[in-house]
Structure 1
Amino acid sequence: MALTTSRAQHPDQPSDDDVDVARRLLDSSAQLSYDPLTEVDWDTPLDKDFHGASPEWSTLYGTAYWEEMSDAQRKELTRQEAASVACTGIWFEMILQQMILRDIYSKDPTDETFQWALTEIADECRHSIMFARGAKKLGAPAYRPHRVAVELGRLFKTTAFGEAAYAAILVAEEVLDVMQRDWMRDERVVPFVRTINNIHVVEESRHMMFAREETRKHLARAGRVRRRIHAVMIAIAAYVIVTSMVNREVYANAGLDGKRALREARANEHHKSMVRASCSGLMEFLSSVGLLTRPALFFYRRAHLI
């Protein structure tokens, strides 16, 4: 009875299920984690006979422009696009780290959920360094999201909490997960990028599990109004993340006509279908927890996530 009373007084205290999930994630991390500085081949010069990502994931794949491009141009474009995705990943991982730190700021540091959160942040720090070195090795500049996206991210990381923070984290990780699973298996992709993708997929699978559990936990005590507001916040965050993944400068940097490339990329139904397919599991989860409201669907459709 005393234990029940204590939990009633401290709603943020993790349940036995939360602790069990965190303990399993900590055990998994101890058994299977990577050091990108030693696991990735950083020393071998870039082999330009390889793509930077699976060609089918290129924003121009299937367009008239793609058919006109030489093989070398296609490979250069996929390398620039892969670097842009990596740079966007760094941007969002920095947002993610700040939201998690804010969430655990005053919680019990002896608890496994607190320690798992710090483990996740450590993973994200390594991932960001890995992505930065990978983008540089691909011969790309430091792609950054549009200024509006940067400022919206600044606002989101400062105000988002609970299910809004963790579901947004899940959105970013799920979209990357599907495309990177394709890239890491594709022998057309340059080997060091395949290694980067493999590391990220393995370690992010734990992060996605934690984000799903935290989203469910926070929603369990969220009222109707908060749930509806956060559903829209998550959808807007998803729109900004997805539309920021490929910087418009990648086309000029790949030696293409930037205006034409951007026009054809925006109209590319093949790429839109790839994005929708990658998000099917995510949309099922959001629907199952009541976060696919009508206003939220507007933004998911604009981002071609549904």
Structure 2
Amino acid sequence: MTDQAQRPSRSPHTVAQRLLNASAANALDPHTDIDWSAPLLKDAFFWPPERLALYGTPLWDRLDHQQRVALSRHEVAHMAQMGHWFELAIIRMLARYLMSRRVLDVRAYYALTEMADETRHITMFGRLLSRLGCPNRPVPARIRLPHPVAAAAFQDITTFTSTLVVEEVLDRFQREAAQDERIQPLVRSVCRLHVSEEARHVSFARTELREAVAHASRGHLAFHRTLTALVASHTVPALLRPDRYGDIGIAPALARRQVRANPHHHATVLWSGEKLISFLLDADLIRRPQHHLWRRCGLMASTRQ
């Protein structure tokens, strides 16, 4: 653990209190802070084109501008659908965390505050999906079905690592999209709101994770290193490889093959996980036995030693 993590000013209690104060001062409401009535612009992208999974492939080169815009619309719909489900999963994990905390613990107060934030975000993603008007696709069964059983083994380490896998990866994309003037104003507004509140969630998860690691036995820590790597290896591909190509007239099997072979997409996934992987290495949550799982999900380069 770093010296900074041991300082009293960075203790879990102090961080939770600071985050509670920040939440009280800066809480946002997607119902009123986003203009849902604003029309969608005809030719504007819904996501930075360079971050779309097909960007740089032969299929991408054959698409005209309107087809690329449609592709970005469906890819954002996929991320919103996945984000909607993952926020529900985070609420469920935080509820388990709360069951082991004292009622008057400031960390419990902040966890409840975060659950309220996530509830608003779920509503926000639902409203965005409605505005996008894309077909509603269920979360893949390989993600949805194992979660209730697997989550029973998570405890604090895998709970907060899993939270960071989703929140930090999406945060990297959303920060970029929020500043990109090529993107639909509605999508940029959703990204700005989400990023501003998720920054507090990431701070809380990182602090709680360091605390849990500091008190874990060697065997317990080894188990959760592997469990969290398994979660990432299943979660990240489902999040960042949308399978909605048939909705816009692209052969799904061909698109999937080109995405899997696309070096630009591989670089984008690595980019999305840079901060996350750096933190998890520093927190001693990734060691050599887990490298193949982190490489499988694309967040760790195959050349990393």
TM over 0.5: yes
- Give the C-alpha shift of residue 254 in structure 1: 2.2
2:222 aligns to what SS in structure 1?
helix
For 2:149 and 2:50, how far apart are their aligned partners in 1?
Answer: 34
Q: Is the 8 A contact 1:174 1:279 kept in 2?
A: yes
| Pairing 1:93-242 to 2, within 5 Å after superposition | 93-242=87-236
The runs of 5 or more residues in structure 2 that have no matched partner are 1-8, 301-305
Amino acid at match of 1:172: V
Answer with 181-190 or 36-45: which moved more: 36-45
Amino acid at match of 1:77: L
Q: Is the 8 A contact 1:175 1:279 kept in 2?
A: yes
Q: 1:282 aligns with which of 260, 273, 276?
A: 276
| Pairing 1:26-45 to 2, within 5 Å after superposition | 26-45=20-39
Amino acid at match of 2:252: G
- Give the C-alpha shift of residue 136 in structure 1: 1.9
Offset from partner CA, 1:179-219 (integer Å, 9 cap, x none):
10111111111101100000111100000000001111011
- Give the C-alpha shift of residue 246 in structure 1: 4.5
- Give the C-alpha shift of residue 247 in structure 1: 5.9
Q: Is the 8 A contact 2:161 2:228 kept in 1?
A: yes
Amino acid at match of 1:190: Q
Amino acid at match of 1:231: R
- Give the C-alpha shift of residue 159 in structure 1: 2.3
Instruction: State the percentage of identical aligned residues.
Output: 37
For 1:216 and 1:244, how far apart are their aligned partners in 2?
Answer: 27
Q: Is the 8 A contact 1:95 1:157 kept in 2?
A: no
Offset from partner CA, 1:54-92 (integer Å, 9 cap, x none):
111100001111111010010110111011011111111
- Name the residue aligned to 1:258: 252
For 1:107 and 1:60, how far apart are their aligned partners in 2?
Answer: 45
Q: 2:64 aligns with which of 63, 70, 75?
A: 70
- Give the C-alpha shift of residue 228 in structure 1: 1.1
Q: Is the 8 A contact 1:19 1:112 kept in 2?
A: yes
Amino acid at match of 1:215: L
TM-score computed with the length of structure 1 as normaliser = 0.91
Q: Is the 8 A contact 2:11 2:207 kept in 1?
A: no
For 1:227 and 1:207, how far apart are their aligned partners in 2?
Answer: 23
Amino acid at match of 2:117: D
Q: 1:273 aligns with which of 267, 277, 295?
A: 267
The runs of 5 or more residues in structure 1 that have no matched partner are 1-14
Answer with 56-65 or 233-242: which moved more: 233-242
For 2:176 and 2:100, how far apart are their aligned partners in 1?
Answer: 40
Offset from partner CA, 1:196-254 (integer Å, 9 cap, x none):
00011110000000000111101111111111110111111112221111565411112
The two structures, once aligned, show a CA RMSD in angstroms of: 1.6
Answer with 43-52 or 81-90: which moved more: 43-52
Answer with 136-145 or 245-254: which moved more: 245-254
Amino acid at match of 2:106: E
Answer with 36-45 or 57-66: which moved more: 36-45
- Name the residue aligned to 2:6: none
Answer with 169-178 or 243-252: which moved more: 243-252
- Name the residue aligned to 1:56: 50
Amino acid at match of 2:107: T
Q: 1:46 aligns with which of 40, 44, 64?
A: 40
Offset from partner CA, 1:22-45 (integer Å, 9 cap, x none):
110011111112100111121133
State yes or no: 1:80 paired with 2:71: no
TM-score computed with the length of structure 2 as normaliser = 0.92
- Name the residue aligned to 1:291: 285
Deviating 4+ runs (over 4 angstroms):
none
The size of the alignment, in residue pairs, is: 292
Amino acid at match of 2:152: T
Q: Is the 8 A contact 1:52 1:75 kept in 2?
A: yes
Q: Is the 8 A contact 2:243 2:256 kept in 1?
A: no
Q: Is the 8 A contact 1:88 1:143 kept in 2?
A: no
For 2:227 and 2:100, how far apart are their aligned partners in 1?
Answer: 25
